[in-house]
């Protein structure tokens, strides 16, 4: 941050402000679109990276919100330009939007690098859009501020409050066991997602927008505002105004994102009982700012951070309740002794200043420190013979009696194998079994799909079994729940120990001890390793092939090897 600047200091000045043939071409072409010198001359050019698409229900309101952002930019004396970026639509893209997170990050960085841009507003919210946009903008390191899509309003069916994702799993199991009818299921389908906005549970979307706010990359309170409320377009305009001010102040992502601000984000995620996906995303986001962050940082903080947000799937309420109760600023005020409150944020004030006047209006939704939802340990990082480089479990959403468990493995080699056999009445499985899914990691998926919440076998559901220990090298939706161990690293498709597991092998899970082990003699494992299978690549062309060749493992943040580390803001411009 280098202080106030003049028009000649603007990056866009090199396109529009100098007297040469190239600038003549730039000015004539911007005039071709109907703009005059009074529109763009000497003003900060603010890119609006808009991830709207016709298949992104979480962002369906962005056609209107982008106009609100533009309004704010004009009000502050800037020149807005909308740059469409690929939309990562969690409900529709297969096999997973995680496959394309790095593609959006790369696109965001290159859009900003290659155009006459002085600063930007990043419009996202659906799960992977938040980390992707922030990763790209951080690497480019121009003044940037994030505008969250906001959660949708709560759902309803037959007088029952519905939460997106979480209630899908619950009612699907009821349908599979004939406890609700097909007509009921259609009613739930009609009522579970009723407005624009991302999931209103504490899934990956709300977790990551909250992390962005805690890290300092949004305006104060931005992540909690529901998409359908009038405060949301007001926020859009305010974000646009602030983007212009940030350019004049030269306040950039790498001025905001430090180790302390990243640890603030981790702390807040833990207090929210946020999505396990946040571990992968925060690791990658930190690396883009040159910040050292490890799995051990998550586990160390988790041992001391209480869960204060009583939000599904780990609690009882939804995001519009959270907003009405005071939102993220209120929760952070309760946590202020555990946060680095001196960290600068996108509005130019410190985190401490932003939360100083926050209030809690419902202390059942946002709990006080002396009455937490749980004392600590919303997330745990495990290691052991089955996960030498680590894995994670959302302990706050798991069954307490299964946090220490020993049982025989029932192994599925891939998702198709799981789908084909999980409800087979002859499947050799009991409630004590450990369900294992492999071949679903960053390389094996490809892209590490959200397949980690393995379904309970139908015959066990009929017996009243509602949870089992489940392991995978996949991820899990942040709206999911259950005793699911995820992100096992290294994954099976690159020869991790998970690849050596066989049906009937005893597995021991010990969350208090932070261990996950396969109880198999080392000599037997060596024998299996000598006979191990080849794993040919699933893709041989295009982006997916490039992804498989350059993707990192879960414990490293799943970034591309050629994009790690902090970036450089400028190419040579001719």
**pLDDT tens string 283-319:** 999 999 999 999 999 999 999 999 999 999 989 999 9
Instruction: Using pLDDT thresholds of 50, 70 and 90, give the confidence band for residue 221.
Output: very high
Rounded to whole angstroms, the Cα distance separating 290 from 260 reads 13
User: What mean pLDDT, rounded, does the chain reach?
Assistant: 95
Structure-block tokens of residue 268: 């807040």
Res 479: pLDDT: 83
Rounded to whole angstroms, the Cα distance separating 199 from 392 reads 22
Mean pLDDT within 402-420: 97
Q: Which long-range contacts (CB under 8 A, 24 or more apart) does 36-44 make?
A: 39/79, 40/12, 40/16, 40/79, 41/16, 41/17, 42/7, 42/10, 42/13, 42/17, 43/7, 43/77, 43/78, 43/79, 44/10, 44/12, 44/77, 44/78, 44/79, 44/118, 44/119, 44/244, 44/247, 44/248
Residues of the chain above pLDDT 90, percent: 91
Instruction: Tell whether the torsion through CA atoms of 265, 271, 277 and 280 is positive or negative.
Output: positive
Q: Are 559 and 552 in contact (CB under 8 A)?
A: yes
Instruction: Using pLDDT thresholds of 50, 70 and 90, give the confidence band for residue 320.
Output: very high
Res 229: pLDDT: 98
Q: Are 86 and 94 in contact (CB under 8 A)?
A: no
Closest CA to 472 of 494, 444, 440, 495: 440
Structure-block tokens of residue 297: 């940082």
Q: Which long-range contacts (CB under 8 A, 24 or more apart) does 569-574 make?
A: 569/113, 569/140, 569/141, 569/142, 570/113, 571/113, 571/114, 573/14
How far CA 229 is from CA of 225, 329, 402, in Å, comes to 7, 18, 41
Ordered domains of the chain (ranges, CATH): 43-153+195-355 (no CATH), 155-191 (no CATH), 380-536 (3.50.30.80)
Rounded to whole angstroms, the Cα distance separating 465 from 458 reads 9
Q: Which residue has the tokens 């602030």?
A: 242
Mean pLDDT within 486-500: 97
Q: Are 15 and 29 in contact (CB under 8 A)?
A: no
Q: In the predicted model, is pLDDT for residue 567 greater than 80?
A: no
Beta strands in 265-327 (DSSP E): none
Provide the 8-state DSSP code for 151. B
CB atoms within 10 A of CB 11: 20
Res 574: pLDDT: 46
Rounded to whole angstroms, the Cα distance separating 430 from 255 reads 54
Rounded to whole angstroms, the Cα distance separating 280 from 554 reads 6
Res 536: pLDDT: 83
Mean pLDDT within 523-552: 90
Q: In the predicted model, is pLDDT for residue 573 greater than 80?
A: no
The DSSP secondary structure of 54-116, one letter per residue, reads TT-GGGTTHHHHHHHHHHHHHHTT-EEEEEE-----TTT-SS-THHHHHHHHHHHHHHHHHS-
Helix (H) or strand (E) holding 283: helix 277-288
Instruction: Tell whether the torsion through CA atoms of 235, 237, 241 and 243 is positive or negative.
Output: positive
How far CA 291 is from CA of 250, 277, 319, 346, 560, in Å, comes to 20, 19, 30, 18, 16
Provide the 8-state DSSP code for 304. T
Mean pLDDT within 166-182: 91
Using only C-alpha atoms, the chain has a radius of gyration, in whole angstroms, of 24
Mean pLDDT within 520-530: 93
Phi, psi (deg, nearest 5) at residue 352: -60, -40
Instruction: Using pLDDT thresholds of 50, 70 and 90, give the confidence band for residue 570.
Output: low
Rounded to whole angstroms, the Cα distance separating 227 from 313 reads 20
Q: In the predicted model, is pLDDT for residue 423 greater than 60?
A: yes
Interval 55-72: pLDDT, tens: 999 999 999 999 999 999
Under DSSP, is residue 443 helix (H, G, I), strand (E, B) or coil? coil
Res 355: pLDDT: 98
Mean pLDDT within 241-266: 98
Rounded to whole angstroms, the Cα distance separating 7 from 396 reads 52
Closest CA to 138 of 285, 292, 346: 285
Interval 1-31: pLDDT, tens: 445 799 999 999 999 999 999 999 999 999 9
Q: Which residues fall within 8 angstroms of residue 33, CB to CB, at 6 or more apart? A: none
Res 450: pLDDT: 95
Res 568: pLDDT: 61
How far CA 116 is from CA of 214, 271, 469, in Å, comes to 30, 40, 52
**68 burial class (0-12, 13-18, 19+ CB within 10 angstroms)?**
buried
Structure-block tokens of residue 44: 């900060």
Mean pLDDT within 79-94: 96
Rounded to whole angstroms, the Cα distance separating 247 from 44 reads 7
92-96, 164-168, 199-203, 262-266: range with lowest mean pLDDT: 164-168
Structure-block tokens of residue 102: 């790095």
């Amino acid at each position: 941050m280098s202080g106030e600047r003049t028009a000649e200091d603007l990056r866009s000045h090199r396109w529009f402000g100098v007297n040469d043939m190239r600038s003549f071409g730039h000015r004539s072409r911007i005039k071709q679109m109907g703009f005059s010198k009074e529109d763009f001359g000497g003003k900060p050019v603010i890119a609006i990276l808009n991830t709207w698409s016709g298949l992104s229900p979480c962002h369906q309101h962005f056609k209107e919100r982008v106009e609100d952002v533009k309004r704010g930019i004009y009000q502050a004396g800037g020149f807005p330009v909308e740059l469409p970026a690929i939309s990562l639509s969690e409900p529709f893209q297969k096999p997973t939007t995680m496959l394309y997170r790095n593609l959006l990050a790369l696109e965001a960085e290159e859009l900003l690098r290659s155009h006459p841009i002085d600063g930007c507003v990043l419009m996202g919210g659906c799960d992977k859009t938040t980390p992707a946009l922030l990763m790209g903008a951080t690497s480019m390191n121009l003044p940037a501020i994030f505008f969250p899509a906001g959660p949708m309003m709560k759902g309803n069916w037959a007088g029952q409050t519905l939460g997106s994702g979480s209630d899908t799993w619950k009612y699907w199991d009821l349908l599979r066991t004939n406890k609700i009818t097909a007509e009921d299921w259609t009613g739930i389908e009609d009522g579970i997602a009723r407005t624009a906005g991302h999931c209103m549970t504490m899934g990956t979307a709300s977790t990551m927008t909250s992390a962005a706010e805690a890290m300092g990359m949004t305006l104060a309170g931005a992540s909690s505002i529901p998409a359908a409320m009038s405060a949301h377009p007001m926020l859009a305009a305010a974000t646009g105004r602030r983007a212009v001010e940030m350019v004049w102040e030269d306040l950039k992502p790498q001025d905001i994102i430090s180790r302390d601000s990243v640890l603030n984000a981790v702390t807040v995620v833990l207090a929210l009982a946020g999505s396990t996906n946040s571990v992968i995303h925060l690791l990658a986001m930190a690396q883009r700012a040159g910040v050292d962050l490890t799995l051990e940082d998550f586990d160390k903080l988790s041992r001391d951070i209480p869960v204060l947000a009583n939000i599904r799937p780990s609690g009882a309420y939804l995001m519009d309740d959270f907003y009405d109760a005071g939102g993220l600023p209120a929760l952070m005020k309760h946590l202020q002794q555990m946060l680095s409150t001196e960290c600068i944020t996108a509005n130019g004030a410190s985190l401490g200043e932003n939360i100083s006047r926050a209030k809690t209006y419902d202390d059942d939704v946002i709990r006080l420190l002396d009455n937490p939802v749980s004392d600590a340990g919303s997330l745990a990082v495990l290691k052991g013979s089955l996960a030498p480089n680590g894995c994670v479990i959302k302990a706050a959403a798991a069954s307490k009696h299964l946090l220490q468990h020993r049982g025989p493995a029932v192994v599925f080699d891939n998702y198709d194998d799981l789908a084909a056999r999980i409800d087979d009445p002859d499947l050799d499985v009991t409630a004590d079994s450990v369900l294992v899914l492999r071949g679903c990691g960053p390389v094996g998926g490809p892209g590490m799909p959200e397949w980690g919440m393995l379904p309970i076998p139908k015959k066990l559901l009929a017996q009243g079994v509602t949870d089992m220990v489940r392991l995978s090298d996949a991820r899990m939706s942040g709206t999911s729940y259950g005793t699911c161990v995820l992100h096992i690293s290294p994954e099976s498709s690159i020869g991790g120990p998970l690849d050596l597991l066989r049906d009937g092998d005893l597995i021991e899970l010990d969350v208090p001890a932070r261990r996950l082990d396969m109880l198999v003699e080392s000599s037997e494992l060596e024998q299996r390793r000598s006979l191990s299978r080849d794993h040919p690549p699933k893709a041989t062309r295009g982006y997916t092939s490039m992804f498989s060749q350059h993707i990192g493992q879960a414990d490293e943040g799943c970034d591309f090897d050629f994009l790690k580390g902090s970036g450089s803001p400028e190419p040579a411009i001719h």
